[in-house]
Amino acid sequence: MSRVSIVGTGYVGLVTGACLAELGHQVVCVDVNHERVATINAGRTSFHEPGLDDLVRSHAGSKLVATLDVTEAVSGSDFIFLAVGTPSDPSGAIDLTQVKSAAEKVGAALANSSQWHVVVIKSTVIPGSTVDQIIPILESASGKKAGIGFGVVVNPEFLTEGTALSDFMLPDRIVLGGSDEKSLQQVKGLYRAFDHVPFVLTNPGGAEMIKYASNTLLATLISFSNEIADIGSAIGGIDVAEVMEGVALSRYLTSEGERAPIASFIEAGCGFGGSCLPKDTAALLAEGARAGADANLLRAVLDVNRARPQRLVDLIRRHTPDLNGVTVAVLGLAFKPDTDDVRESPSLPVISLLLAAGAVVITHDPVVHSDSMPAELRTQVRHIEDLPEVIRVADILVIMTRWSEYLKVPELLAGLDSPPLVIDGRRMLTPDSVPRYDGIGLGSDQS
Ligand code: UGA
């Protein structure tokens, strides 16, 4: 059993803290927000993640406690995790304000401790941040040298919203980038429950880059697939869904009849969103430019992605050139199914473009409520929670999120006198399942 502090109790911090408590460690969560601290101590969580409530409830007050006091938490801990937010600034670069402020406080607490502590960087920080910015702050605030007076290890998270607990408890790999061998081995020991999975031991920059390279690989595959869709459509008569099925069956992506999980990132559609892929791609591009490496590929990945909403609206206009007064239902606001997160969701720019074209916009989502939409959009659309009612009033249905509920669309359209046109932004329905259908990359553009 180790003693662990987690500074920052947002999504990543709380999942990490609750899972480390579940593994038997003694965890103290630290936050500047009184309400969050009180909520955790009361055995509750302030956001939705399957299973997290139960875990926090069962460990709160025993293996999991929360406090506002960094100094006390640090002095009683072997490991101090920094898990604060790293939002984007307007240029796409990440904003390290919260990380720097947390490092400052942790450093000051280290100054007053005579014990050895390891600071673990869990927040996603751009390669170079730990060595160039975080360690110098920790050193100057503590008056000690990293690797001698205290340890520093970068340990990126690979949590996906909706499956964060199983991602933590059943990891595919554990990446550790250390300032010194002793700290690396100690953090490895903290994760001894996962001895059966590969550990990647590297330096801080290498660990930071593994996180960015992992996410930008996924973003690149998605934009690649979207570009193949556009080229196929421009040539005419080439259906990207068939093409990608043929690609996925290669031995690189399918083995003994089993599809490799990476093949789920070659689905062309209306683009990637969420809090990770767009932000991480933009941040690595910005850092590359700052450091003198022009990341042409990453720039193109973002350009292709930014063009997806317009591309979808162009497809709608191929069928209905004048959208003025036409009722268009946007099916799906979440950036992906099984989450209520609308951050960077391609649905939002699609709604703006439809409104600008004069369409009457209806929105629907199985879990997202209209109040999660930015205020300027919310007031201009009608949100209807009942899917059959949406279908009754819409001239055009645009599928934006791959919610399983939308597989019911063909059934709901059956028997209607004048069924709406379905534009499938995720290619989740078969073209002949509804009377009037078109989809991204179907190749019908030239016909
Ligand atoms: C992503 C990574 O998948 C996780 O491995 C990583 O840990 C996480 O970021 C993180 O850095 O925290 P997430 O953003 O939750 O996870 O969602 P994804 O499942 O990667 O989907 C991202 C977007 O890509 C969604 O909008 C989805 O609709 C879109 N997408 C996905 C496509 O447009 N096409 C595809 O073929 C696959």
The reported pTM is 0.94
242: part of which helix (H) or strand (E)?
Answer: helix 240-248
Q: What is the pLDDT of residue 277?
A: 96
Amino acid identity of residue 33, one-letter, is N
Q: What is the mean pLDDT of the chain?
A: 95
Q: Please say if the pLDDT value at position 134 is more than 90.
A: yes
Name the residue of 122, 159, 218 to mutate for ligand 1: max ligand atoms within 8 A of Cβ. 218
User: DSSP string spanning 89-109?
Assistant: -TTS-B--HHHHHHHHHHHHH
276 catalytically annotated:
yes
- Which atom of ligand 1 lies closest to the CA of 269? 33
Given a contact cutoff of 8 angstroms between Cβ atoms, the answer to whether 129 and 96 are in contact is yes
* Mean pLDDT (whole number) for 261-267: 96
Q: What is the pLDDT of residue 172?
A: 95
* Mean pLDDT (whole number) for 406-415: 95
Q: What is the pLDDT of residue 258?
A: 96
* Mean pLDDT (whole number) for 128-139: 98
* Mean pLDDT (whole number) for 261-276: 95
Query: Residue 150 — very low, low, confident or very high, per pLDDT cuts 50/70/90?
Result: very high
- Which atom of ligand 1 lies closest to the CA of 401? 28
Q: Please say if the pLDDT value at position 445 is more than 80.
A: no
pLDDT in tens, 16-64: 999 999 999 999 999 999 999 999 999 999 877 889 999 999 999 999 9
Q: How far apart are CA 14 and CA 6, in angstroms?
A: 8
- 160 Cβ closer than 6 Å to some ligand 1 atom: yes
Query: Hey, what long-range contacts does 404-409 have (CB within 8 A, 24 or more apart)?
Result: 404/337, 405/366, 406/331, 406/332, 409/331, 409/434
pLDDT in tens, 314-367: 999 999 999 999 999 999 999 999 888 999 999 999 999 999 999 999 999 999
User: DSSP string spanning 264-329?
Assistant: GG---SS---SSSHHHHHHHHHHHHHHHT---HHHHHHHHHHHHHHHHHHHHHHHH-S--TT-EEE
Residue nearest to atom 34 of ligand 1 (CA): 267
Query: Residue 447 — very low, low, confident or very high, per pLDDT cuts 50/70/90?
Result: very low
- Which atom of ligand 1 lies closest to the CA of 273? 26
Q: What is the pLDDT of residue 225?
A: 98
What is the CA 93 to chain-centroid distance, rounded? 17
- 277 Cβ closer than 6 Å to some ligand 1 atom: yes
* Mean pLDDT (whole number) for 203-229: 98
- 161 Cβ closer than 6 Å to some ligand 1 atom: yes
CA of 352 to the centre of ligand 1 (A): 23
CA of 274 to the centre of ligand 1 (A): 7
Q: What is the pLDDT of residue 47?
A: 77
